[in-house]
Amino acid sequence: MSEAPLPVDADDAAADTTRRARDSVWWAYFPVMVTAVVLAGVPLVIGDSRFFMGLAVLGLAYAGYGVGFNIIFGNTNQLFLCLGALAGVGAYGSSILGSEMDLPMLVTIPLSVAGAALLGAVFSWVSVRRRLDVIFVGIITLTFSLMFINLLLGQRDLTGGETGLVILYDAGVVGRRGTASFYVFLAVLVAFLAAHRWIQRSHIGWAFRALRDDELAAELAGIDVARYKVVGGIVGSAMVGLIGALYAHYEGFISPTTFELGNVDVPVLVMVAFGGIGSLLAPVIGSAVFTVVDEVLRPFSQLRVAVYGVILLTLFLGFRRGLIPAATDLLRRVTRRR
Amino acid sequence: MAVVFDGVAYGLQLGLLAVGLTMIYGLGGVLNLAHGQFAVLAAIAIAVLSDRLPTPAALVAGLAIAALAALATDATIMRAVYRLDGEARVLLSLLLTIGLAFVIDGLLIYNYPFTQLKLSVPGPAVDILGVPMRRGSLAASALALSALALLIVFLRYTRRGRAVRSVIQDEEGAQLCGIDPARVRTAVFALSGALAGLAAVAEGLTSSVSATDGTELTILALIVTVVGGLGSVAGALLAGLLLGLVYTMSQVYIGTYVTLVILLLTAMVTILIRPAGLLGRGV
Amino acid sequence: MLQVEDLDAGYGESLAVHAVSLHVDGGEAVAVIGSNGAGKTTLLRAICGLLRPRAGTVTFNSESLVGEPAHRIARRGVAYVPAERHLFPAMSVQENLELGAYPLRADRRQLELVFELFPRLRDLLSQQAGTMSGGEQQMLAVGRALMSRPGLLMLDEPTTGLAPILAEEAYASLGVLRGEGTTVLVAEQQVPLALDLADRAYVIEDGRIQMEGPAGDLQGNPDVRRAYMGIA
Choose from C45, C78, C86, C154 for mutation: most chain B CBs within 10 A. C86
At CA B19, angle to CA A265 and CA B10, rounded to 5?
85
Q: Do C86 and B179 touch (CB under 8 A)?
A: no
C93-100 and C134-146 helices, crossing angle to 10°? 30
| Chain B residues touching residue A310 (CB < 8 angstroms) | 99, 103
ipTM of the complex: 0.93
Q: Flag whether residue C52 sits within 8 Å of chain B, measured between CB atoms.
A: no
Query: Which 8-state DSSP code applies to residue B111?
Result: H
Position C216 pLDDT exceeds 50: yes
Average pLDDT of chain B to the nearest whole number: 92
pLDDT recorded at residue A7? 37
Averaged pLDDT for residues A85-100: 93
Task: Specify if A307 maps to a domain.
Answer: no
Q: Do B264 and A144 touch (CB under 8 A)?
A: yes
Q: How far apart are CA A42 and CA A334, in angstroms?
A: 31
pLDDT recorded at residue C185? 97
Is residue B240 within 8 Å of B14, Cβ to Cβ?
Answer: yes
Total of domains in chain A: 1
CB atoms within 10 A of CB A318: 10
Question: Hey, is C8 helix, strand or coil?
Answer: strand
Nearest to B73 by CA among B101, B45, B115: B101
Q: Do A143 and B268 touch (CB under 8 A)?
A: yes
Q: What is the DSSP string of A167-205?
A: --S--TTTTSTTHHHHHHHHHHHHHHHHHHHHHHHSHHH
CB atoms within 10 A of CB B52: 9
Q: Do B102 and A312 touch (CB under 8 A)?
A: yes
Full 3-state SS string of C57-85? EEEECCEECCCCCHHHHHHCCEEEECCCC
Task: Specify if A142 maps to a domain.
Answer: yes
pLDDT recorded at residue B141? 94
Confidence of residue A6 (pLDDT cuts 50, 70, 90): very low
Q: Which residue of B has its CA nearest to A301?
A: B110
Q: Which amino acid would we find at residue C18?
A: H
Taking a contact as any Cβ pair under 8 Å apart, which residues of chain B between 230 and 249 contact chain A? 230
Q: Flag whether residue B261 sits within 8 Å of chain C, measured between CB atoms.
A: no
Domain that holds residue A118: 24-260
Q: pLDDT per residue over C194-215, tens digit each?
A: 999 999 999 999 999 999 999 9
Average pLDDT of chain A to the nearest whole number: 85
Q: Do B175 and C50 touch (CB under 8 A)?
A: yes
Q: How far apart are CA B105 and CA B103, in angstroms?
A: 6
Q: How far apart are CA B106 and CA C138, in angstroms?
A: 54
pLDDT recorded at residue A198? 94
B170, B178, B283 ranked by CB distance to C74: nearest? B178
Q: Flag whether residue B99 sits within 8 Å of chain C, measured between CB atoms.
A: no
Full 3-state SS string of A7-74? CCCHHHHHHHHHHHHHHCHHHHHHHHHHHHHHHHCHHHHHCCCHHHHHHHHHHHHHHHHHHHHHHHHH
Residue C29, beta-bridge partner list: C184
Q: How far apart are CA B39 and CA B49, in angstroms?
A: 15
Position B1 pLDDT exceeds 80: no
Is residue A287 within 8 Å of A55, Cβ to Cβ?
Answer: no
Q: Do A142 and B222 touch (CB under 8 A)?
A: yes
The percentage of residues in chain A with a pLDDT greater than 90, rounded to a whole number, is 44
Position A76 pLDDT exceeds 80: yes
pLDDT recorded at residue A1? 34
User: What are chain A's partners, defined as 3 or more CB pairs within 8 angstroms?
Assistant: B
Strands C183-188 and C29-33, bridge-based pairing:
parallel
Confidence of residue A14 (pLDDT cuts 50, 70, 90): low
Q: How far apart are CA B153 and CA B149, in angstroms?
A: 6
Position A264 pLDDT exceeds 90: yes
Q: pLDDT per residue over B141-165, tens digit each?
A: 999 999 999 999 999 999 999 999 9
Q: Which residue of B has its CA nearest to C80?
A: B176
pLDDT recorded at residue A48? 73
The 10 Å CB-count burial string (b at 16+, else e) for A58-81 is bbbbbbbbbbbbbbbbbbbbbbbb
Task: Specify if A266 maps to a domain.
Answer: no
Q: Flag whether residue C144 sits within 8 Å of chain B, measured between CB atoms.
A: yes
Position A10 pLDDT exceeds 50: no
Q: Which amino acid would we find at residue B154?
A: F
Task: Specify if A327 maps to a domain.
Answer: no
Q: Which residues contact A260 (CB under 8 A, 6 or more apart)?
A: A84, A149
Q: Which residues contact B168 (CB under 8 A, 6 or more apart)?
A: B23, B26, B27, B231, B281, B282, B283
User: What are chain B's partners, defined as 3 or more CB pairs within 8 angstroms?
Assistant: A, C
Q: pLDDT per residue over B242-283, tens digit each?
A: 999 999 988 888 877 788 888 899 888 888 888 777 776 544
Q: Taking every pair of C-alpha atoms in chain C, what is the biggest distance, in angstroms?
A: 51
Q: pLDDT per residue over B161-194, tens digit each?
A: 999 999 999 999 999 999 999 999 999 999 999 9
Q: Do B230 and A135 touch (CB under 8 A)?
A: yes
- A19-28, A131-140, B120-129: lowest mean pLDDT where? A19-28
pLDDT recorded at residue A19? 57
Q: Would you kindly state where each structural domain of chain C is located, as residue ranges?
A: 2-85+153-228
CB atoms within 10 A of CB A210: 18
Smallest Cα distance from B78 to chain C, Å: 19
Task: Specify if A13 maps to a domain.
Answer: no
Chains C and A touch (3+ CB pairs under 8 A): no
Position C110 pLDDT exceeds 60: yes
Query: Which 8-state DSSP code applies to residue A75?
Result: I
Q: Do B165 and C91 touch (CB under 8 A)?
A: yes
pLDDT recorded at residue B283? 42
Q: pLDDT per residue over A294-322, tens digit each?
A: 888 888 777 888 888 888 888 888 766 67
Q: Flag whether residue C91 sits within 8 Å of chain B, measured between CB atoms.
A: yes
Question: Hey, is C49 helix, strand or coil?
Answer: coil
Q: Which residues contact A244 (CB under 8 A, 6 or more apart)?
A: A86, A87, A88, A89, A90, A91, A112, A116, A259
pLDDT recorded at residue C150? 94
Q: Which residue has the higher pLDDT, A130 or B201?
A: B201
Task: Specify if A325 maps to a domain.
Answer: no
Position B213 pLDDT exceeds 50: yes
Q: pLDDT per residue over C143-173, tens digit each?
A: 999 999 999 999 999 998 899 999 999 999 9
Q: Do C88 and B172 touch (CB under 8 A)?
A: no
3-state helix, strand, coil split of chain B in percent (to 5) is: 75, 5, 20
pTM greater than the 0.95 cutoff: no
Averaged pLDDT for residues B9-17: 95
pLDDT recorded at residue A23? 64
Q: How far apart are CA A150 and CA A153, in angstroms?
A: 5
3-state helix, strand, coil split of chain C in percent (to 5) is: 40, 25, 35
Averaged pLDDT for residues A179-187: 91
Q: How far apart are CA A267 and CA A273, in angstroms?
A: 10
pLDDT recorded at residue C61? 95
> CA B38 from chain center: how many Å?
9
- B33-37, B41-45, B124-128, B230-234: lowest mean pLDDT where? B124-128
pLDDT recorded at residue A22? 55
At CA A124, angle to CA A241 and CA B264, rounded to 5?
80
Which DSSP helix (H) or strand (E) runs through C21? strand C17-24
The percentage of residues in chain B with a pLDDT greater than 70, rounded to a whole number, is 98
pLDDT recorded at residue C58? 97
Q: Which residues contact B254 (CB under 8 A, 6 or more apart)?
A: B262
* Domain C2-85+153-228: CATH superfamily, name plus number: P-loop containing nucleotide triphosphate hydrolases (3.40.50.300)
Q: pLDDT per residue over B83-121, tens digit each?
A: 988 878 888 898 899 999 999 999 999 999 999 999 888
| Chain C residues touching residue B174 (CB < 8 angstroms) | 71, 88, 99
- The number of residues making up chain B comes to 283
